[in-house]
Chain A
Amino acid sequence: MQKIPMTSNKQPDHPLDDLIRTDRIPHIWCPGCGIGTVFSSCLAALKGSGIDLQKTVMVSGIGCSGRAAGYVKLDSFHTTHGRAIPFATGLKLANPELNIVVFSGDGDLFAIGGNHFIHAARRNMDMTVICVNNLNYGMTGGQVAATTPHLAKSTTTPAGNPETPFNLPLMAYACGATYVARWTMLHIRDLTDSITEAICKKGFSFIEALSPCPVNYGRRNKQKPLDMLKLYQEKAIIKNDADPSTLDIDFEKGIILGKFIDLDRPTFIEEYDKIYRPSRLQENVPELNS
């Protein structure tokens, strides 16, 4: 039997190391957290997409997922709570060559930042928004979010959540997003494929990535660290093109995953150029007669 040396000189490089600020590792994410998996899926997608990474910017808000911007070795902005999307809007409009990825959490994007999400989708602002949905505010210790299931417990709903959570893909679709998908961090290949597709697609793309928070959500809802992953495995129903109005998350009946929306309509910049800067467009159009 071959003897495996206990000490090797150097660990092999991770294939995504060139996209990580390794001098900032270890990261802050808890054991059992799924953000790192979604993050590496996003990095794999960025790498695989073939886009110019020097022209690619990651923008985050505040929260556990918001820390992603601090670990990616690209131009990256860790902004204020909920404001990643309007900050990214300014970046994109000032330099349309930039590829924009907003990576943030459900609390950041849909409670405090909900208004900005709605309007960026309506405008079809050209960016990819990845929402890590862990069903609660993890950074602050497990409070109820706009995505927490009805009756689920959190530190601010100690007897159960009286509210109804958002159906995020429906919201994105209703607001005008041109690409909408939902996966879990367990469906890593599908998630990576979706992020790749979204990055390469112009317009406002939205991907919801369900991700466990065993420390703050699971603990208060009688879930052991692997329980949520089992639910992802057992209750997942992959149904591409599903009607967005049917996508409420139901851990009893099933969680519908897939690519739901993939359509084309002009982006804000295309419309702005067409209406306000026709000369810029003409410069780019080759003359037919010549």
Chain B
Amino acid sequence: MTKPAVLTGEYFMTGDVACAEGALAAGCRFFGGYPITPATEIAERMAIRLPQVEGCFIQMEDEIGAMAAILGSSWAGVKSMTATSGPGFSLMMENIGLGICTETPCVVVNVQRGGPSTGLPTQGAQGDMMQARWGSHGHYEIIALAPSSPQEIFYLTITAFNLSEKYRLPVLIMTDEIIGHMSEKVIIPEAKSIKLASRPRPKGRKDRFKPFAPGPNGVAPMPAAGEGYNLHITGLTHDEKGYPVMDVETQTEMMARITEKIQKNLDDIIQTDSYLLDDAEIVIVSYGVSARTSMAAVAEARKLGIKAGLLRLVTIWPFPEDQIRKLADRVKGFVTVEINLGQIHREVERCAGGKVPIFLVGHSGGTIIHPDEVVKMLKEAF
């Protein structure tokens, strides 16, 4: 039975389900998955919903296969997604690299749980933030987004698809068990109000087409398999034709292509949010579920006369370096709040360049950070 892809209305929905609905609203029509707590509900929702919108769901034999399958389906011209948690994210790294190298649009959701290894399957954490940045081998740029509520995960999943299509790369949604399993009000807007992006399409003669010759914004147009372009797509270092060339010049050119398309479009990609930041003397840098903790802490601190403010990172990668640098010139210090032992913290430290003190309110994972801990740090450290 056919149902609309955009279920316009007001719902009480978990983050995982809202993520699936966001994907469908973004035009996702293929999901290759593998069950894993706490991301399974995304796959379950997609298994119900995709056939209703003429899409296809498959549960693959492992996360390696799931990631490979969504790259394949993307090259067949279909917007594609997978969702997992830490152990599966580790297995996906190999083909995330293939996606980067072959400039393949797709979306990968990581509903983070405590790690390392099997860790705390049912309990939240934010410990995969650096894996999101550097988990696949070699040097590359990536886009990763961190939603702070079920409503936001709906919208950021659409953003993730739009960015992946526009810049031709896998885009990561780095959420966590708490947001994934939390139920809140989610408003799904009307389909016509949702702005969608699609991969740039080739023009001109098919026999002269070069699948990796960048267009004006540094991104090459992308045809699909079966359209008569005789594409050759490889994970080897390749030239603009897509042909493997094993030399330093080609490696340098290809690396420039896959990194500069992100580096030169930071203003278009990076999103941040703030709370009482304008007059803040102490800036809390946080994201995802920890940004909610931080917001409560800022409100509490203000009552105590501490001029705290929040910089909430919506885009984690590419890292909003300029914003941190500018803040470092005018504030007294930073506090990073995250459910790990200091990953984004180190980025903040790097960008602040030793100008002001920086403190971490971190946690090994398994529970949220209580706002009191943040307030305590604000009182003691400054």
Contacts and interface: CB of A to CB of B under 8 A. Distances in A.
Interface of A: 21, 23-24, 54-55, 57, 59, 69-70, 73-80, 82-83, 85-95, 97-98, 115-116, 118-119, 268, 272, 276-277, 279-280
Contacts of A268: 58
Given A89-B72, A276-B51, A80 B30 contact: no
A203 B56 CA distance: 18
Contacts of A76: 230-233
Contacts of A276: 51
A79 B72 CA distance: 9
Given A80-B94, A95-B76, A276-B51, A90 B62 contact: no
B68 interface: yes
B73 A90 contact: yes
B291 interface: no
Contact of B72 (A77, A97, A119): A77
Nearest to B50: A276
A80 B95 contact: yes
Contacts of A21: 232, 243
B336 interface: no
13 contacts: A55-B226, A78-B244, A86-B60, A88-B72, A89-B58, A90-B73, A90-B75, A91-B75, A93-B69, A95-B224, A95-B225, A95-B226, A277-B51
Given A79-B98, A91-B73, A95-B77, A69 B30 contact: no
Interface string B300-333: 0000000000000000000000000000000000
A83 B54 CA distance: 26
B239 to A, nearest CB: 11
Contacts of A80: 68, 94-95, 97-98, 235
B65 A115 contact: yes
B71 A87 contact: yes
Contact of B243 (A24, A77, A85, A280): A24
Contacts, number: 144
Interface in B131-186: none
Contact of A277 (B54, B74, B94, B244): B54
Contacts of B30: 90, 93-94
B56 A70 contact: no
B120 interface: no
Contacts of A118: 61
B70 interface: yes
Contact of B68 (A57, A74, A75, A86): A86
Nearest to B228: A54
Interface in B7-33: 29-30, 32
B60 A89 contact: yes
A76 B232 CA distance: 5
Contacts of A73: 230
B71 A75 contact: no
B234 A90 contact: no
A86 B65 contact: yes
B85 interface: no
Contact of A94 (B51, B56, B98, B232): B56
Chain B at the A interface: SS class: mixed
Interface string B93-135: 0110110000000000000000000000000000000000000
Contacts of B359: none
Interface size of B as a range: 35 or more
B382 to A, nearest CB: 49
A90 B72 CA distance: 4
Contacts of B236: 78
Contacts of B226: 54-55, 57, 75, 95, 97-98
Interface in B42-96: 51, 54, 56, 58, 60-62, 64-66, 68-78, 80, 94-95
Contacts of B275: none
B243 A70 contact: yes
Given A91-B225, A94-B73, 19 more contacts: A57-B226, A70-B234, A75-B226, A76-B232, A77-B231, A79-B98, A80-B98, A83-B64, A83-B95, A86-B32, A89-B32, A89-B69, A90-B72, A91-B73, A91-B75, A93-B56, A94-B56, A94-B78, A94-B80
Contacts of A83: 64-65, 68, 94-95, 98
A77 B61 contact: no
Contacts of A280: 54
A87 B106 CA distance: 13
B229 A90 contact: no
A70 B61 CA distance: 27
B1 interface: yes
B2 interface: yes
A90 B75 CA distance: 9
Nearest to A278: B1
A116 B65 contact: yes
A277 to B, nearest CB: 5
Contact of B61 (A74, A93, A116, A279): A116
Which 3 residue pairs are nearest across A and B when measured between Cβ atoms?
Answer: A90-B72, A94-B73, A94-B76
A163 B317 CA distance: 46
Contacts of B58: 89, 93, 268
B172 to A, nearest CB: 18
A133 B69 CA distance: 25
B232 A86 contact: no
A127 to B, nearest CB: 11
A98 B75 CA distance: 12
B140 to A, nearest CB: 15
A31 B205 CA distance: 37
B127 to A, nearest CB: 26
A247 to B, nearest CB: 25
B47 to A, nearest CB: 9
Contacts of A59: 72
B333 to A, nearest CB: 45
Nearest to B236: A78
Contacts of A88: 72
Contacts of B56: 93-94, 272
